[in-house]
Amino acid sequence: MTCRNSAIDSIEEGEKRMSEALARNGETAVAPGLSDFMPGGVLSPEPDSRVNLIGQDRDGLTALVAEMGEPAFRAKQLYHWIYMRGAKNFADMTNLSKAFRAKLEEKFRLDRPRISAHQKSVDGTQKWLLRYEDGNEAEMVFIPETDRGTLCISSQVGCSLTCAFCHTGTQMLVRNLTPGDIAGQVMLARDELDDWAQTEEAGRKVTNIVLMGMGEPLYNTDNVMAAMRLVSDGDGIAIGRRKITLSTSGVVPDIQRVGEELGLSLAISLHAVRDDLRDKIVPINRKYPIAQLMETVKGYPGLTTSRRVTWEYVMLKGVNDSDEDARTLLRLMEGIPSKVNLIPFNPWPGSEYECSDPARVESFLAILHRAGMVATIRKTRGQDILAACGQLKSESQRIGKRERDRLASIRAEKEAAVGL
């Protein structure tokens, strides 16, 4: 899928860009309103051998409670404390007996991912680099808006795929995140934002989830679905399924399943309207070409004019941004309740693309609008921590041959691994 922050692959890189942007403006590295780089918690020197309950569903908790010789309703209570109340330790579970709490403490823990680094933008956007127990790291971003708060979460460490405009695509896949790793991101965000209010009416901050961080969710479908069951359960974290958007680069075989089993909102990273171009910039297209993708999306359950598929389209100068491209896009979407999200490209070191000129983006948008299509240009948020389109042009030109060769070999290895 298209990373919201696809131009940045590490907090360190974001820090570097932030410093450079500030330096260009003649400012110091610490600007008023920007939080300092904040190191996270210290990793425990001793691995904790107790089982982490984060990620266990009702059945899992019921089985564990039964093994302890406790009645089944204890599992229900535990589930409520973990996922509805956000308890971080068993001592807080005051309607459980002291003896049971002590037994739980002995065998289990309730660990979220740790925070390796945290940045907060002047516009309120926050970004966390999260560290899992095995030392692997993934990113999470919170984007507050007037009418909603969107949390962008990761599904893999690295990514299976090699989308040419995406910096995460240059990283090897390290591992799939587990259901606990994924749901743990949402729970950590609630901890950090003091957001365990149960409803939006009660002032909940995280109202929407987008699976647009690191990774292709449909190359980790089972774990993503298990996590989203937890996140959407009304007796738990309770974020409605329509408010959860799964974004895929077009892994066709699992798209239908997401709709049938969970009814999540769907976004497709399209980015090109011709197979010859999409084969290059979204290489999964070689396996699942545009016509097949469109047919599959057409059959996605529950699409209506009030529930549209989102087509993500990164604007690449002189590559995919012509008026003809816009008209072809309209033809492709015929018969599919759709909205289009145009994404100004953020160049990164080694990327071969530039962002389309603003006038070109506007012209593309106008063609969509004239045809009655719902279409927007993605707002740049967290510019000071995520870098703006065009800021890194000089760096992108500086990359050496050795680095280019290294990226090419990573790409070849990854594409072979997924059969491209």
What residues form the annotated binding site for [4Fe-4S] cluster? 159, 163, 166
Q: Which amino acid, 61?
A: L
Q: 130 vs 40, 140, 157, 234, 394, CA distance in Å?
A: 9, 7, 10, 26, 29
246 binds ligand SF4 (CB under 6 A): no
Q: Check if 139 is active-site.
A: yes
Catalytic residue among 70, 137, 139, 312: 139
**Per-residue binding letters, 200-239, with ligand SF4 (x by CB under 6 A):** --------------xxx-----------------------
Q: Which residues contact 13 (CB under 8 A, 6 or more apart)?
A: none
3 binds ligand SF4 (CB under 6 A): yes
State in angstroms the smallest separation of the CB of 405 from ligand SF4. 19
State in angstroms the smallest separation of the CB of 114 from ligand SF4. 22
Over its C-alpha atoms, the chain yields an Rg (Å, rounded) of 22
Between CA 357 and CA 247 the distance in angstroms is 26
State in angstroms the smallest separation of the CB of 170 from ligand SF4. 8
283 binds ligand SF4 (CB under 6 A): no
346 binds ligand SF4 (CB under 6 A): no
384 binds ligand SF4 (CB under 6 A): no
Contact between residue 157 and residue 174 where contact means Cβ atoms under 8 Å apart: yes
Q: Which amino acid, 207?
A: T
State in angstroms the smallest separation of the CB of 333 from ligand SF4. 20
Contacting residue, 5, 56, 220, 249, with ligand SF4 by CB under 6 A? 249
Q: Which residue has the tokens 């980015």?
A: 271
Q: Cβ atoms within 10 A of the Cβ of 373, count?
A: 18
Q: 91: helix, coil or strand?
A: helix
Q: Which residue has the tokens 């870098």?
A: 387
Catalytic residue among 137, 152, 389, 395: 389
Between CA 116 and CA 166 the distance in angstroms is 23
Choices 62-70, 97-105, 118-126, 165-173; region in contact with ligand SF4 by CB under 6 A: 165-173
169 binds ligand SF4 (CB under 6 A): yes
**Per-residue binding letters, 252-281, with ligand SF4 (x by CB under 6 A):** -----------------x------------
191: enclosing H helix or E strand: helix 179-192
383 binds ligand SF4 (CB under 6 A): no
Among 125, 190, 110, smallest CA distance to 384 is for: 125
Between CA 189 and CA 86 the distance in angstroms is 11
Q: Considering beta carbons, is residue 82 or 157 the nearer one to ligand SF4?
A: 157
Please count the residues of this chain forming the interface with ligand SF4, following the rule CB under 6 A: 16
Q: Considering beta carbons, is residue 6 or 121 the nearer one to ligand SF4?
A: 6
Between CA 392 and CA 349 the distance in angstroms is 7
State in angstroms the smallest separation of the CB of 5 from ligand SF4. 10
166 binds ligand SF4 (CB under 6 A): yes
163 binds ligand SF4 (CB under 6 A): yes
Q: Which residues contact 291 (CB under 8 A, 6 or more apart)?
A: none
314 binds ligand SF4 (CB under 6 A): no
Q: Check if 3 is active-site.
A: no
159 binds ligand SF4 (CB under 6 A): yes
Contacting residue, 116, 168, 208, 223, with ligand SF4 by CB under 6 A? 168
Q: Which amino acid, 163?
A: C
Q: How many whole angstroms from its chain centre is CA 366?
A: 29
Among 21, 40, 41, 43, smallest CA distance to 30 is for: 21
- Which residues have a catalytic role annotated? 139, 389
Residues in contact with ligand SF4 by the rule CB under 6 A = 1-3, 6, 159, 161-163, 166, 168-169, 214-216, 249, 269
